Amino acid sequence: MADKVKKPGVIRRFISYYRGHLPLFGLDMLCALVISGVDVVYPLMARGALDRYIAPGAENLRPFIILMAAAIVMHIVRAACSYIVTYYGHVLGVYIEADMRHDVFSHLQELGFSFYDRSRTGKLMARCTTDLFDVVELAHHGPEDLFISFLTFVGSFIAMATINWKLALMLMATVPLMLAFVMYLRKRLNLTSRKVKESVAGINADIESAISGARVAKAFTNEEYEIEKFDNGNKRYIHAKSMNYKAMGQFMCGMEFFTTILKVLVLGFAGLLIILKRGEMTANDLFVFLLYITSFTTPIRKLAMFMEQYTAGMAGFRRFVEIMDTEPAIFDSENAVELKDVRGDIVFSGVSFAYDGGRHVLQDISLTVPHGRTVALVGPSGGGKTTLCHLIPRFYDVQEGSITVDGHDVRDVTLRSLRGNIGIVQQDVFLFAASIRDNIRYGRLDATDEEIIAAAKAAEIHDDIMKMPDGYDTVVGERGITLSGGQKQRVSIARIFLKNPPILILDEATSALDSATEAKITGALERLSEGRTTLVIAHRLSTVRNADEIIVIDESGILERGSHDELMAANGAYKLLHDAQNLLYGTH
């Protein structure tokens, strides 16, 4: 569950992700400490060797060899630590990334219809993928780089100052300049890499839309136009990438130049000191200084990198937190009870509803669907039929009035028990990219294969499935494109047969079927709805003729209600709709 009460600072929340991986983090930091230690100590050792054992007149082979052996051992340990930092540091990052992705995915599962209504799939996907890459870069490089850099930087400075504080101060004076220089170059590098990312995202979006729209492009013979549009994106990519390489080239050569110049400066300054002020500095000191230059410049480079990673990573993390802090609009109330032994008496009392503060879609709807009865909803497209059905399983909450099931307000029962007792065939059927068997099993995850086949038979889809290349194991395409509209509808009806709930909601469940199949399915659905409370929506009025009650609604509310015969006799909106359809389809 998302942390719904406390909202600690963003950085604290970021750090909290390390909590589950403290041993790994500790190991990482320990190795980082060893690496900085070696980098600071080694030049000092070298200086000791130069001064004490190989200076003219003080040659001493044995201790020199021992010292060199120790240096080798130190560097073996350093290499091992460097391996651990690189390997386990990244692994730590991967763990944190997986934790964050798990959290955001679980949270997305909790969020309701209204959230998905206003979110774009592509953006949500970016929250779970690319945004997290930046966060994780920061998560695993951040602390380690900061730690190593800080220790090495301070350690090197102190070591250099003990050798010759004037030269050390001179080096220190170049730091702000170098930092500014590195940050300027990295900023450019960063800017151009962002442009590259944007252009890649653009290309991806172009490809996605072109692939989904390929059939439309062909129908309008607009292939050339599509290619041209795509090439523009491709050109933008070439430009962005060249600028990126340009900035990279400048950065690399700038860094190399700066480091070399620093070495020359040290050489020059130290040379002057050696020549002009004898005794203040020796050639050995100079040698050690030159060794320190790398351990001095690397932290600066890393610090600049960290600042940039911090900006990108925190931006990604804030977007992550934004989703995590989006509270589900619909959740169990504190005293929610289980809805048990459902009979299925549904009562709408004075229900009004509008999407997200927009205009009213439903106005003052009062109706009763008694246990075991079938009530049909008809009315103009956009009149609010689907919306009304979505209020029963609480996909949205009503703004005025109430809906009860067996006398319980739907807001007072647990969502799980409420939705578990309702079977809904939605108007736009969605099939998962999985086998047909798994798609039907979605109705009840523990169903056996026999039960799945029985459900498929009841939904009149079994024969179609048997004709498919792999039968029940046939994998449905990404968007269910290998099935026809009517087949998809029947798969979704099979799910309901499997779920076997006491309340049925059929939103245009037979709209994509031919008359023969529709007759069969209608028969099956009638058998299914026996003894169950059923709400049916249908445009084709012939399919709702037998309903116990027919309700005609539009955005102004309920226009008419009654049985088919009563409504025909009333000579109102229903009769108008009915006559119009007869003109179109003829009586059947």
Ligand X SMILES: Nc1ncnc2c1ncn2[C@@H]1O[C@H](COP(=O)(O)OP(=O)(O)OP(=O)(O)O)[C@@H](O)[C@H]1O
Residues that bind Mg ion (CB under 5 A): 386, 427
* Separation between Cα atoms, residue 155 and residue 539, nearest integer Å: 79
* Separation between Cα atoms, residue 447 and residue 458, nearest integer Å: 15
With 0-12 / 13-18 / 19 or more C-beta atoms within 10 angstroms meaning exposed / middle / buried, residue 162 is exposed
With 0-12 / 13-18 / 19 or more C-beta atoms within 10 angstroms meaning exposed / middle / buried, residue 230 is middle
Q: How far is the CB of 526 from ligand X (least distance, A)?
A: 22
* Separation between Cα atoms, residue 228 and residue 230, nearest integer Å: 5
Q: How far is the CB of 587 from ligand X (least distance, A)?
A: 22
**Does residue number 427 form part of the binding site for ligand X (CB under 6 A)?**
yes
Residue 89's binding partner, choosing from Mg ion, ligand X, none, with beta-carbon cut-off 5 to 8 A by kind? none
Q: How far is the CB of 377 from ligand X (least distance, A)?
A: 8
* Identity of the residue numbered 221: T
Q: How far is the CB of 389 from ligand X (least distance, A)?
A: 8
Among 21, 127, 385, 499, binds ligand X (CB under 6 A): 385
* Separation between Cα atoms, residue 126 and residue 161, nearest integer Å: 49
Q: How far is the CB of 428 from ligand X (least distance, A)?
A: 9
Closer to ligand X by CB, 302 or 540: give it. 540
Residue 381's binding partner, choosing from Mg ion, ligand X, none, with beta-carbon cut-off 5 to 8 A by kind? ligand X
**Does residue number 155 form part of the binding site for ligand X (CB under 6 A)?**
no
Closer to Mg ion by CB, 150 or 355: give it. 355
With 0-12 / 13-18 / 19 or more C-beta atoms within 10 angstroms meaning exposed / middle / buried, residue 85 is buried
Residue 559's binding partner, choosing from Mg ion, ligand X, none, with beta-carbon cut-off 5 to 8 A by kind? none
Closer to Mg ion by CB, 343 or 360: give it. 360
* Separation between Cα atoms, residue 391 and residue 113, nearest integer Å: 11
Q: How far is the CB of 118 from ligand X (least distance, A)?
A: 8
**Does residue number 384 form part of the binding site for ligand X (CB under 6 A)?**
yes
Question: Binding mask 3-42 vs ligand X (x if CB under 6 A, - otherwise)?
Answer: ----------------------------------------
Stretch that binds ligand X, among 99-107, 363-371, 379-387, 542-550 (CB under 6 A): 379-387
Question: Vertex 93, ends 87 and 98: CA angle to 5°?
Answer: 125
The percent helix, strand, coil of the chain (3-state, each to 5) is 65, 10, 25
**Does residue number 559 form part of the binding site for ligand X (CB under 6 A)?**
no
Closer to ligand X by CB, 116 or 257: give it. 116
Among 313, 383, 423, 501, binds ligand X (CB under 6 A): 383
Closer to ligand X by CB, 64 or 355: give it. 355
Three-state DSSP state, 167: helix
Stretch that binds ligand X, among 191-199, 213-221, 378-386, 463-471 (CB under 6 A): 378-386
Closer to ligand X by CB, 439 or 543: give it. 543
Among 3, 117, 280, 428, binds ligand X (CB under 6 A): 117
Q: Looking up tokens 């498919």, which residue turns up?
A: 468
**Does residue number 485 form part of the binding site for ligand X (CB under 6 A)?**
no
Q: How far is the CB of 346 from ligand X (least distance, A)?
A: 17
Q: How far is the CB of 354 from ligand X (least distance, A)?
A: 9
Q: How far is the CB of 580 from ligand X (least distance, A)?
A: 15
Cβ atoms within 10 Å of 402's Cβ, excluding its own: 14
Number of residues near ligand X (by CB under 6 A): 11
Closer to ligand X by CB, 128 or 361: give it. 361
Q: Quote the tokens at residue 563.
A: 């049985």
Closer to ligand X by CB, 155 or 383: give it. 383
Closer to Mg ion by CB, 386 or 439: give it. 386
Whether 182 and 241 have beta carbons less than 8 Å apart is answered as no
Cβ atoms within 10 Å of 273's Cβ, excluding its own: 19
Whether 326 and 111 have beta carbons less than 8 Å apart is answered as yes
Closer to Mg ion by CB, 156 or 386: give it. 386
**Does residue number 381 form part of the binding site for ligand X (CB under 6 A)?**
yes
Sequence-ordered alpha helix ranges (H) in 165-222: 165-212, 214-219
**Does residue number 428 form part of the binding site for ligand X (CB under 6 A)?**
no
Among 20, 249, 271, 382, binds ligand X (CB under 6 A): 382
* Separation between Cα atoms, residue 385 and residue 559, nearest integer Å: 13
Closer to ligand X by CB, 386 or 534: give it. 386
**Does residue number 462 form part of the binding site for ligand X (CB under 6 A)?**
no
Q: Quote the tokens at residue 306.
A: 């960290």
Residue 109's binding partner, choosing from ligand X, Mg ion, none, with beta-carbon cut-off 5 to 8 A by kind? none
* Nearest residue to Mg ion on Cβ basis: 386
* Separation between Cα atoms, residue 121 and residue 15, nearest integer Å: 28
Alpha-carbon distance values, 386 to 252, 289, 361, 479 (Å): 61, 77, 10, 22
Residue 178 neighbours by CB under 8 Å, 6+ apart = 258, 262, 297, 300
In the 8-state DSSP scheme, what is residue 442? T
Residue 176's binding partner, choosing from Mg ion, ligand X, none, with beta-carbon cut-off 5 to 8 A by kind? none
Closer to ligand X by CB, 460 or 507: give it. 507
* DSSP conformation letters of 490-517: HHHHHHHHHH--SEEEEESTTTTS-HHH
Q: Looking up tokens 């995850």, which residue turns up?
A: 445
239, 241, 247, 252 alpha-carbon torsion, rounded to 10°: -150
Residue 282's binding partner, choosing from Mg ion, ligand X, none, with beta-carbon cut-off 5 to 8 A by kind? none
R_g of the chain, CA atoms, integer Å? 36
Stretch that binds ligand X, among 213-221, 272-280, 314-322, 385-393 (CB under 6 A): 385-393
Closer to ligand X by CB, 139 or 538: give it. 538
Among 336, 355, 512, 573, binds ligand X (CB under 6 A): 355
**Does residue number 361 form part of the binding site for ligand X (CB under 6 A)?**
yes
* Identity of the residue numbered 492: S
Residues found near ligand X in the complex (CB under 6 A): 117, 355, 361, 381-387, 427
